Amino acid sequence: AGSQIQGTAGIPRQSRRRKSLSIAYEPGQGDGAEPPAAPWEPRDWREQLERIRAMRSSRDAPVDEMGVHKCYDSSAPPQVMRYQVLLALMLSSQTKDQVTSAAMQRLRRHGLTVDNVLQMDEETLGQIIYPVGFWRNKVKYIKQTTAILKQKYGGDIPSTVEELVQLPGVGPKMAHLAMHIAWDSVAGIAVDTHVHRISNRLKWVKKETKYPEETRVALEEWLPRDLWKEINWLLVGFGQQTCLPVNPRCSQCLNRDICPAAKRF
C-alpha cells in the first residue's frame, strides 16, 4: 500500500480525482457492490432426481419399449436411420407410444425411405399411419418435409435445431430429440407434456410455466448440461407410470415427502 501512495504523490489533483471516479464505477473495487448471487436451483432437486432414477430403474414404461429410439431400423444406412427417427417423432405428437410404434412398423414394411415416401400417394400414406393423432395433417407434413429433405439435404435430415424446426410438422421437442437420437448431439432439453407437467409439479422452474417451450428455457438455465439428454427419458417414463396427468399415483411415489405437489392430490 505504501508504494502505491508514493507512486501517486506526483499526480496532479485533477487527474487523481478522475482516476478515483473511474475506479468507483467498477464492480467489486471497494464501492460496496455485493458479490454475485449463487445461481438459482430448485430445492431438493438432486434427491428428487435420484429417487426418479430409482423408480425408472426397471425401464418398463411404454417409452422404454416403444419410444422413438426403438422405432427405426438400426441396421439401415445412417441417412435412412435418421430419416426414420424424424418420421417417428413427427408421428408421435399427440399419440401414444404404442400407436406410433405400430404405425412405424407398417411404414417400415413398405420400405421407409425418402424415395419410397415421395412415390407414395397421400391416401396410401394415410391408411398406413392411421390412427395416429391428427393423421391427415401428418400425411401432408410428411410429404412436404420429405420433399424438402430430398431437394435441400440430399435425402438426409438437418443437423441443427434451427434447421429442423423449419421443416413442416417439426416442433422444438422433436428437433431436440432428433439431435439426441439421430445425431447423438445434445443441443437442448426435449420437453414434452410429461416433462412440462412434472417440472412444474416439482417446482423445477422458478415460476409456473404455461408451455413446454417456456419450461425448456427455464430448465436449461439451471440443470447441469450433462443431464440434458437423460432428463427427457426419465421424466417421460415417470409421467407414464407414476406422475400421471390425472390422478397421479402419489402413494407409490418415492418423492411424496419432498414433492411440493403431492399434498394436492
Whether the predicted pLDDT of 29 surpasses 80: no
- In this prediction, residue 32 carries a pLDDT of 58
> Position 219: which residue type?
L
Band (50; pLDDT cuts 50, 70, 90): very high
- In this prediction, residue 9 carries a pLDDT of 43
List for the chain the helix, strand, coil content (%; round to 5). 60, 0, 40
Distance between CA 100 and CA 93 in Å, rounded?
Answer: 9
Cis preceding-peptide flag for 158 (omega within 30 of 0): no
The distance between the two most distant Cα atoms of the chain, rounded to a whole number of Å, is 90
- In this prediction, residue 81 carries a pLDDT of 98
Cell of 235: 421424466
Q: What is the pLDDT of residues 4-24, one digit of tens each?
A: 434 444 444 444 444 444 444
- In this prediction, residue 25 carries a pLDDT of 43
Whether the predicted pLDDT of 144 surpasses 70: yes
Is residue 88 classed as helix, strand or coil in its secondary structure? helix
Neighbours of 235 (CB within 10 A): 27
**Arithmetic mean of pLDDT, 133-158:** 98
Is residue 120 classed as helix, strand or coil in its secondary structure? coil
- In this prediction, residue 37 carries a pLDDT of 76
Distance between CA 173 and CA 178 in Å, rounded?
Answer: 9
Is the separation of the CB atoms in 183 and 85 below 8 Å?
Answer: no
Is the separation of the CB atoms in 201 and 260 below 8 Å?
Answer: yes
**Of 35, 19, 2, 149, nearest to 90 (Cα)?**
149
**Arithmetic mean of pLDDT, 169-182:** 97
Q: How many percent of the chain have pLDDT more than 90? A: 84
**Of 248, 252, 251, nearest to 201 (Cα)?**
248
* pTM (two decimals): 0.84
Cell of 210: 404455461
**Of 158, 246, 142, 146, nearest to 197 (Cα)?**
246
Residue 35 DSSP one-character state: P
**Arithmetic mean of pLDDT, 52-78:** 97
Cell of 7: 507512486
**Arithmetic mean of pLDDT, 187-203:** 97
Domains of the chain: 45-59+190-264 (1.10.1670.10), 73-183 (1.10.340.30)
Band (265; pLDDT cuts 50, 70, 90): low
Burial string for 147-168 (b: 16+ CB within 10 Å, else e) reads ebbeeebebbbbeebeebbebb
Kindly list the catalytic residues. 173
- 5 vs 152 pLDDT, higher one: 152
Q: What is the pLDDT of residues 207-225, one digit of tens each?
A: 999 999 999 999 999 999 9
- In this prediction, residue 36 carries a pLDDT of 76
Is the separation of the CB atoms in 199 and 215 below 8 Å?
Answer: yes
Q: How many percent of the chain have pLDDT more than 70? A: 87
- In this prediction, residue 179 carries a pLDDT of 98
